[in-house]
Amino acid sequence: MSDEEKWAGSIFDMPGLNDIKKSPDILEKIKWEVTPKMVMEPRFQSRPEDLQKLRDISGYMFYIESQCEPPALMLLKVGKTDITSTIGKVDEIPPELLRKAIENPVDKPANGMYAITDEIKEWLKKELGV
């Protein structure tokens, strides 16, 4: 099974923390400062600064999905075009970190997607060894 096949599937069989940890190509492309709001902004590609912005946000972004119970920490692949897809789910995160991030958001949520907090970033970096 190729990496591409492994990273495509339903939310119930998505790769988790250990799979992400073993994927250096993903680890090095995580954009810790990119937020759902940034990803959900309209994307224009006509001006050089628009193309640069798309390059800057493309990679992988963690976010909190609030449209499920309990809320979940997800990994989103962000393309240089409008194509994005959720490719991972981190079940190991303490639920209270997710609740705090939703109750006191660092950024306005976009389509039920919340940005991760500094506390969650620290937890992830420790768990992923980055």
> What predicted TM-score, i.e. pTM, was given to this entire model?
0.85
The total number of structural domains that make up the chain: 1
Find the domain containing 30 and state its range. Answer: 3-128
Q: pLDDT tier at 91 (50, 70, 90 boundaries)?
A: very high
Between 5 and 130, residue with greater pLDDT = 130
Q: Catalogue the long-range contacts made by 90-99 (C-beta closer than 8 Å, 24 or more residues apart).
A: 90/16, 90/17, 90/20, 90/62, 90/124, 91/16, 91/17, 92/16, 92/17, 92/127, 93/120, 93/123, 93/124, 94/123, 95/70, 95/71, 97/123, 98/64, 98/70, 98/71, 98/72, 98/73, 99/71
In this model, does residue 70 exceed pLDDT 60? yes
